[in-house]
A and B are shown apart, each in its own frame.
Chain A
Amino acid sequence: MSAIEIRGLRKTFGTLEVLSGIDLDVESGEVVCVIGPSGSGKSTLLRCVNLLEEPSGGTVTVDGVELTDPDVDIDAARRRIGMVFQSFNLFPHLTVLGNVTVAQRKVLKRDKAEAERVARANLERVGLADKVDSYPEKLSGGQQQRVAIARALAMDPRVMLFDEPTSALDPELVGDVLGVMRGLADEGMTMVVVTHEMSFAREVADRVVFMDGGVVVEQGAPDRVIANPEHERTRTFLARVLDPAAARVGEVDG
């Protein structure tokens, strides 16, 4: 059984079809990087996997639970799916410790001591054990994103979803976050990562999925997809991402 099974997933906003039939399996322990141009539906795909967006058609099954089943306990299912957002979305009115314990306390009903123990262990894991009492606004973007990762990990998720986790960061802070994610991958976490960081995809991903226009255009081992793409659309996209300066020339030509 795969950790994530997506079958015929469709999503429309009004008349705009954003996902036009996605089939995707993610095995337990696998790291899948999703790449593709802006507007291709990557975020929507991730958001459908934990039902932040309600799919218009198809099925999504995570850890054996079909989320698209109308009778499913969606709150229970979401506990097992960690999500990391581009904009961090830390809770500004809570300290770092509060951010990482609040859902443990209120959702998992862990007692205070247990929740704090788990929180500290996970903050340690992302290298921020000394920041427990800070408020998010006092942290750099990279630190905030690592707290967000710790917050998700504290719920003992079976899979982790990352939506462009480093896109809002200053370049010199990207490395810390990617380092944490690499560590998670090494520990065997099942991960789906939407990213433009091609070096991360190449080194950490087991598989790269290229999306465009609401469909999976091609997928495969990172070396194959990134270094030697089969499809013209993939080649065009990669040329732009890998060499933005050249891409601008190409766009003028096109």
Chain B
Amino acid sequence: MLGGEYGIFVAAVVLVVALADWHSLHVNFFNWSVAKGLFPDIITVGLRNTVIYTVTGFALGLVGGLLLALMRLSSVLPYRWFAMAYIEVFRGLPALLIFIFVGTGIPLAFPGTELPGGVYGQAAAALGLVSAAYMAETIRAGLEAVPPGQAEAARSLGMSRFRAMRTIVVPQAFRVVIPPLTNELVLLFKDSSLALFIGVSLTQRELTKFGRDLASQQGNTTPILVAGLCYLLITIPLGYLARRLEARQKRGRR
């Protein structure tokens, strides 16, 4: 049974090796001179902007997500409604639509207005709007994982609701949500590629647009592959870190 599958696999590999045009593959996909020509710009422009969009978007999403999570757990009904509606809407929409909305829709709807930071502001806003909805649910779960006795002890020491949340409950919740938030960071890192739909200038290009532009300029696929490698350089270690943190937390809880 297993031998059969293995045989099919070997046959497929042999077929690919025999039929592939190795020279053309090499020239188009792994072209050294093209790859070398990408540096250092692919790092200093592409990766740099990808990191900027991701980090600012993550920061906005984190603040928004925390606010939404607190509203979601609030005793004030309209807050809860707002948070629930926001979370449902933004998790239900494609991220691309949000980017197009922020990049095109808002300037059309409010001519003359501009988000602070220009394209950087727009990308951060779009990523923040999307990730806030996901992070809100993660953070809410973290807040609910803190035993109610913690808030009670804080309140019984005279802390206000807000103070107890900020000093006692939220820090404990964040320990719980660091691994899932690291995963969220990985997702955002990839989603930052959607910034190419905002209409960025040459110096504002992130990895994906950078790779695409150079690929079409040079009629060669190598730039896209190198851009992909740059993503993996960040996403694989981050994902590994998230799993490590998660595993450590599981052990700690025993």
A244 contacts B by Cβ under 8 Å: no
| A52, B158: Cα distance in complex, Å | 11
Chain B nearest CB: distance from A226 CB in Å?
29
Q: How far is the CA of A162 from the CA of B156 in the complex (A)?
A: 12
Which residues of B does A touch, CB under 8 Å? 147, 149-150, 152-160, 163, 167-168, 171-172, 175
Residue among A81, A85, A91 with the highest chain B CB neighbour number at 10 A: A91
A11: shortest Cβ distance to chain B, in Å?
16
B residues near A91, Cβ cutoff 8 Å: 150, 153-154, 168, 172
A85 x B172 contact (CB < 8 A): no
CA distance A152 to B155 in the complex (A): 11
CB pair A85–B152 under 8 Å, yes or no, is yes
SS class of chain B's interface: helix, strand, loop or mixed? Answer: helix
- Tell me whether B172 and A103 are in contact (CB under 8 A): no
Contact at A52–B155, with CB atoms within 8 Å? yes
Within 8 Å by CB of A76, from B156, B158, B175, lies B158
A81 near B167 with CB under 8 A, answer no
Q: Are the CB atoms of A52 and B172 closer together than 8 Å?
A: no
* B156 close to A83 (CB less than 8 A): yes
Within 8 Å CB of B171, what residues of A? 93
Select which of B160, B167, B175 is within 8 A of A75 by beta carbon.
Answer: B160
Interface residues on A, range: 20 to 34
- Nearest B residue (CB) for A47: B152
Tell me the smallest distance from the CB of B203 to a CB of chain A, in Å: 43
Nearest CB to that of B149 among chain A residues? A89
A-B contact pairs, 13 of them (CB 8 A): A76-B158, A82-B156, A85-B153, A89-B153, A91-B153, A91-B154, A92-B172, A93-B171, A102-B168, A103-B154, A107-B158, A108-B158, A152-B157
Known: A85-B153, A93-B171. 12 other contacts (CB 8 A): A75-B155, A79-B158, A83-B156, A85-B149, A89-B153, A91-B150, A102-B157, A103-B159, A107-B157, A151-B157, A152-B156, A155-B157
- Interface membership of A78, Cβ < 8 A: yes
- Is A50 an interface position by the 8 A CB rule? yes
Cβ distance A125 to chain B, nearest Cβ, rounded Å: 17
Q: Is A87's beta carbon under 8 Å from chain B?
A: yes
| A138 contacts the other chain (CB 8 A) | no
| Nearest 7 A/B pairs, CB to CB | A79-B158, A103-B157, A89-B153, A83-B156, A89-B149, A107-B158, A78-B158
Q: Measured between alpha carbons, how far is A168 from B97 in the docked complex, in Å? A: 55
* B37 CB to nearest A CB, Å: 51
The complex places the Cα of A152 from the Cα of B168 at a distance, in Å, of 16
Contacts of A92 in B (CB 8 A): 172
Determine if B168 and A78 form an interchain contact, defined as CB atoms under 8 angstroms apart: no
